[in-house]
Structure 1
Amino acid sequence: MAQGPGVTRDRAALDRELDRLSAMLSPWLAHLRHPAQFWPQFDALAGRIRGQARAEDRGHVDARLLRMLAGHPELRRGLPTRRASAGRRRP
Protein backbone atom coordinates (compact mmCIF):
# COMPACT_ATOMS: atom_id res chain seq x y z
CA MET A 1 0.00 0.00 0.00
CA ALA A 2 2.94 2.31 -0.44
CA GLN A 3 1.65 3.81 -3.66
CA GLY A 4 0.41 7.36 -3.68
CA PRO A 5 -3.01 8.82 -4.48
CA GLY A 6 -4.20 8.59 -8.04
CA VAL A 7 -2.37 5.30 -8.64
CA THR A 8 -4.59 2.46 -9.74
CA ARG A 9 -3.77 -1.19 -9.20
CA ASP A 10 -4.90 -4.27 -11.05
CA ARG A 11 -7.26 -6.74 -9.40
CA ALA A 12 -4.49 -9.18 -8.47
CA ALA A 13 -2.60 -6.42 -6.61
CA LEU A 14 -5.80 -5.31 -4.90
CA ASP A 15 -6.50 -8.88 -3.83
CA ARG A 16 -3.00 -9.17 -2.33
CA GLU A 17 -3.62 -5.99 -0.31
CA LEU A 18 -7.04 -7.24 0.77
CA ASP A 19 -5.50 -10.58 1.78
CA ARG A 20 -2.95 -8.73 3.95
CA LEU A 21 -5.69 -6.68 5.57
CA SER A 22 -7.77 -9.80 6.19
CA ALA A 23 -4.80 -11.58 7.78
CA MET A 24 -4.30 -8.62 10.12
CA LEU A 25 -7.86 -8.58 11.45
CA SER A 26 -7.77 -11.38 14.03
CA PRO A 27 -4.54 -10.28 15.75
CA TRP A 28 -5.57 -6.64 15.47
CA LEU A 29 -8.95 -7.27 17.10
CA ALA A 30 -7.35 -9.38 19.82
CA HIS A 31 -5.09 -6.49 20.84
CA LEU A 32 -7.47 -3.60 20.36
CA ARG A 33 -7.65 -1.46 23.49
CA HIS A 34 -11.10 -0.11 22.74
CA PRO A 35 -13.56 -1.20 20.00
CA ALA A 36 -14.18 2.43 18.97
CA GLN A 37 -10.59 2.56 17.70
CA PHE A 38 -11.24 -0.12 15.11
CA TRP A 39 -13.52 1.65 12.63
CA PRO A 40 -11.44 4.78 11.93
CA GLN A 41 -8.32 2.65 11.51
CA PHE A 42 -10.08 0.07 9.33
CA ASP A 43 -11.69 2.81 7.23
CA ALA A 44 -8.28 4.40 6.63
CA LEU A 45 -6.67 1.14 5.51
CA ALA A 46 -9.64 -0.05 3.48
CA GLY A 47 -10.05 3.40 1.95
CA ARG A 48 -6.45 3.36 0.71
CA ILE A 49 -7.05 0.02 -1.02
CA ARG A 50 -10.38 1.15 -2.43
CA GLY A 51 -8.83 4.41 -3.62
CA GLN A 52 -6.33 2.44 -5.71
CA ALA A 53 -9.06 0.39 -7.40
CA ARG A 54 -10.21 1.14 -10.91
CA ALA A 55 -13.90 2.00 -11.15
CA GLU A 56 -14.70 -1.48 -12.49
CA ASP A 57 -12.95 -3.12 -9.51
CA ARG A 58 -14.53 -1.11 -6.69
CA GLY A 59 -17.53 -3.44 -6.39
CA HIS A 60 -15.13 -6.36 -6.04
CA VAL A 61 -13.15 -4.52 -3.34
CA ASP A 62 -16.33 -3.55 -1.48
CA ALA A 63 -17.63 -7.13 -1.58
CA ARG A 64 -14.32 -8.46 -0.25
CA LEU A 65 -14.31 -5.90 2.56
CA LEU A 66 -17.83 -6.84 3.61
CA ARG A 67 -17.02 -10.58 3.55
CA MET A 68 -13.89 -9.86 5.57
CA LEU A 69 -15.86 -8.03 8.24
CA ALA A 70 -18.69 -10.57 8.25
CA GLY A 71 -16.15 -13.28 9.10
CA HIS A 72 -15.57 -11.70 12.52
CA PRO A 73 -18.56 -12.20 14.85
CA GLU A 74 -17.19 -9.59 17.24
CA LEU A 75 -17.81 -6.96 14.53
CA ARG A 76 -21.26 -8.08 13.42
CA ARG A 77 -22.95 -5.69 15.82
CA GLY A 78 -21.38 -2.81 13.90
CA LEU A 79 -22.01 -4.13 10.40
CA PRO A 80 -25.61 -3.03 9.79
CA THR A 81 -24.72 0.65 10.20
CA ARG A 82 -21.36 0.24 8.47
CA ARG A 83 -22.42 -2.00 5.58
CA ALA A 84 -22.99 0.78 3.05
CA SER A 85 -19.80 2.61 3.90
CA ALA A 86 -17.19 -0.11 4.45
CA GLY A 87 -13.92 1.30 3.26
CA ARG A 88 -15.44 4.60 2.16
CA ARG A 89 -15.07 8.04 3.60
CA ARG A 90 -18.07 9.63 5.16
CA PRO A 91 -19.19 13.02 3.78
Structure 2
Amino acid sequence: MKSILVEDTEHCVFCGNPNVEEHHVFFGTANRAKAEKYHLTIPACNEHHTGSANCPHKNRIIDLALKCWGQTVYELKIGNRSDFRRDFGKSYL
Protein backbone atom coordinates (compact mmCIF):
# COMPACT_ATOMS: atom_id res chain seq x y z
CA MET A 1 0.00 0.00 0.00
CA LYS A 2 1.22 3.47 -0.87
CA SER A 3 -0.20 6.51 0.88
CA ILE A 4 0.41 10.24 0.66
CA LEU A 5 -1.51 10.64 3.91
CA VAL A 6 0.68 8.59 6.26
CA GLU A 7 4.23 7.34 6.27
CA ASP A 8 3.51 4.24 8.39
CA THR A 9 1.28 1.97 6.33
CA GLU A 10 1.99 -1.05 8.55
CA HIS A 11 -0.19 0.01 11.49
CA CYS A 12 -3.80 1.13 11.90
CA VAL A 13 -3.97 4.92 12.00
CA PHE A 14 -6.60 4.71 14.73
CA CYS A 15 -5.15 2.18 17.18
CA GLY A 16 -1.74 1.04 15.95
CA ASN A 17 -2.78 -2.57 15.32
CA PRO A 18 -0.34 -4.19 12.84
CA ASN A 19 -3.09 -6.25 11.15
CA VAL A 20 -4.27 -3.71 8.59
CA GLU A 21 -6.49 -3.40 5.56
CA GLU A 22 -6.25 -0.63 2.98
CA HIS A 23 -9.00 1.96 3.34
CA HIS A 24 -9.61 4.17 0.31
CA VAL A 25 -10.56 7.55 1.75
CA PHE A 26 -12.73 8.16 -1.31
CA PHE A 27 -14.57 4.92 -1.93
CA GLY A 28 -17.37 3.68 -4.10
CA THR A 29 -17.27 2.65 -7.72
CA ALA A 30 -16.40 6.05 -9.15
CA ASN A 31 -13.87 7.20 -6.57
CA ARG A 32 -12.01 4.09 -5.45
CA ALA A 33 -9.78 3.99 -8.57
CA LYS A 34 -8.96 7.69 -8.19
CA ALA A 35 -8.10 7.23 -4.51
CA GLU A 36 -5.83 4.37 -5.56
CA LYS A 37 -4.25 6.45 -8.34
CA TYR A 38 -3.44 9.34 -5.99
CA HIS A 39 -2.59 7.10 -3.00
CA LEU A 40 -5.35 8.59 -0.85
CA THR A 41 -5.45 5.53 1.36
CA ILE A 42 -4.82 4.76 5.00
CA PRO A 43 -4.13 1.56 6.91
CA ALA A 44 -6.94 0.49 9.22
CA CYS A 45 -7.45 -2.66 11.25
CA ASN A 46 -10.66 -4.59 10.57
CA GLU A 47 -12.44 -3.00 13.53
CA HIS A 48 -11.62 0.52 12.34
CA HIS A 49 -12.14 -0.23 8.64
CA THR A 50 -15.48 -2.04 8.47
CA GLY A 51 -15.97 -3.97 11.71
CA SER A 52 -17.50 -1.51 14.16
CA ALA A 53 -19.67 1.55 14.49
CA ASN A 54 -16.43 3.57 14.76
CA CYS A 55 -15.28 3.04 11.19
CA PRO A 56 -15.56 5.28 8.13
CA HIS A 57 -17.91 2.90 6.33
CA LYS A 58 -20.46 3.17 9.18
CA ASN A 59 -19.73 6.52 10.85
CA ARG A 60 -20.37 9.60 8.72
CA ILE A 61 -18.36 11.91 11.00
CA ILE A 62 -15.25 9.74 10.69
CA ASP A 63 -15.83 9.39 6.94
CA LEU A 64 -16.09 13.16 6.45
CA ALA A 65 -13.04 13.85 8.63
CA LEU A 66 -10.97 11.48 6.49
CA LYS A 67 -12.31 13.04 3.30
CA CYS A 68 -11.37 16.54 4.53
CA TRP A 69 -7.90 15.27 5.40
CA GLY A 70 -7.59 13.57 2.02
CA GLN A 71 -8.68 16.67 0.14
CA THR A 72 -6.31 18.89 2.13
CA VAL A 73 -3.34 16.67 1.29
CA TYR A 74 -4.47 16.37 -2.35
CA GLU A 75 -4.49 20.18 -2.59
CA LEU A 76 -1.03 20.41 -0.98
CA LYS A 77 0.63 17.69 -3.06
CA ILE A 78 -1.33 17.08 -6.26
CA GLY A 79 -3.56 19.87 -7.50
CA ASN A 80 -5.85 22.71 -6.56
CA ARG A 81 -9.49 22.71 -5.44
CA SER A 82 -10.80 22.83 -9.01
CA ASP A 83 -8.72 19.77 -9.84
CA PHE A 84 -10.10 18.00 -6.78
CA ARG A 85 -13.70 18.83 -7.73
CA ARG A 86 -13.05 17.56 -11.26
CA ASP A 87 -11.61 14.31 -9.91
CA PHE A 88 -14.00 13.64 -7.00
CA GLY A 89 -17.14 15.54 -7.96
CA LYS A 90 -17.28 18.02 -5.06
CA SER A 91 -15.29 19.71 -2.33
CA TYR A 92 -15.39 18.54 1.27
CA LEU A 93 -13.74 21.73 2.55
Q: Is the TM-score greater than 0.5? A: no
TM-score (norm 1): 0.37
Taking structure 2 as the reference length, the TM-score comes to: 0.36
The structure where strand makes up a greater share of residues is 2
Greater RCO (CA < 8 Å, at least 6 residues apart): 1
